[in-house]
Amino acid sequence: MELIDGNVIAASIIAELKTAVSALAGRKPCIALVRVGEDPASISYVRKKEKTAADIGLESRIILPPVSIAQTDLEKLIDDLNADPAVDGILVQSPLPKHLDERTIFRRIAPEKDVDGFHPLNLGKIAQEDPTGFVACTPAGIMELLARSGVDLAGKHVVVLGRSLIVGKPAALLALQKKAGANATVTICHSGTRDLPTLTRQADVLIAAIGRAEFVTADMVKPGAVVIDVGINRVADASKKTGYRLTGDVHFSSVAPLTEKITPVPGGVGPMTVAMLMQNTVKAFHQRSRATR
């Protein structure tokens, strides 16, 4: 069994981006980070993104509208960022306060600046295998983890557990693409799947993104499989000062010994998402430069 170390892989991607960005003459790629309100987790996520952007040498613009901002005002703010030629990528930190319509806001972001990859046009481009689209950061991170761990999906059976719009479906569509590293046979299972263990046991590569703590147990995994654990769940743990520990969707201690490779939680998929956001921002910068040249 080999651990797929997301921290190490994310660090190499960030280092590569830093080299690439330092070689750019003229203005640097710029990401706008929009955070509405003072949710502590959002504050920490945005700070991490800002810091990583700075490490790489990207510009960032932090925009902090008040928690009471009206839908139309936030839309106007997005429109201004869409129109601003100095902004390459726009990220609106989720979750937004309850009075705002998150989906409408995400769709308001110009697809060519949608570095979070949530716009339906970008998901459609993944389905159509159009490389100009932006892949959402978690599925993009999964594909990088696999590729950089030497896992070629060609001919393999990938079973995706979970059909969410930002993880399960794009991950399935990426694994299915007719290109090097992909070309997998793909099964998508979910909460309504019958006889789940029979299906997951067929997986050469199992991607667990169902959002239930330690849901995948040893009897559900084929010996020698590669397991990517996308879950981040809090479970009560009296032995911890915080009263909880973080765990994935996989029961790590029983499953890991069976696998060829597996991602830990934390330290697997998690660290990849910010690296992918930065990679998308650099991609947006290049695509926009080409479009306006």
Q: Catalogue the E-assigned strands of 117-232.
A: 157-161, 185-189, 205-208, 226-229
Q: Which is nearer to its own copies, 44 or 191 (CB)?
A: 191
Which residues 116-145 are close enough to bind its own copies by CB under 8 A?
A: 119-125, 127-130, 133
Please list, in sequence order, all residues whose beta carbon lies within 8 angstroms of the beta carbon of residue 128, skipping any fewer than 6 positions away: none
Distance of CA 44 to the CA centre of its chain: 17
Site membership for its own copies, residue 178 (CB under 8 A): yes
Binding-site string for its own copies from residue 216 to residue 255, where x marks contact by CB under 8 A and - marks none: ----------------------------------------
**Residue from 49, 108, 113, 169 binding its own copies (CB under 8 A):** 169
Q: Tally the C-alpha atoms within 13 A of residue 205's C-alpha that lie toward its C-beta.
A: 29
Per CB under 8 A, the segment of 33-41, 58-66, 76-84, 178-186 that binds its own copies is: 178-186
Q: Give yes or no: 88 in active site.
A: no
Site membership for its own copies, residue 173 (CB under 8 A): yes
Distance set, CA 263 to CA 53, 184, 287 (Å): 25, 20, 32
Rounded CA-CA distance 122/106 in Å is 12
Site membership for its own copies, residue 185 (CB under 8 A): yes
Q: Give yes or no: 156 in active site.
A: no
CA dihedral sign of residues 26, 21, 45, 108: positive
Considering the candidates 93, 169, 279, 283, report the single residue annotated as catalytic. 93
Letter string b/e over residues 271-290, b meaning 16 or more CB atoms within 10 A of that residue's CB: bbbbbbbbbbbbbbbebbee
Give the footprint of its own copies on this chain (CB under 8 A): 119-125, 127-130, 133, 154-155, 157, 163, 165, 169-170, 172-173, 176, 178, 183, 185-190, 192-194, 199
Active site residues: 49, 93, 116
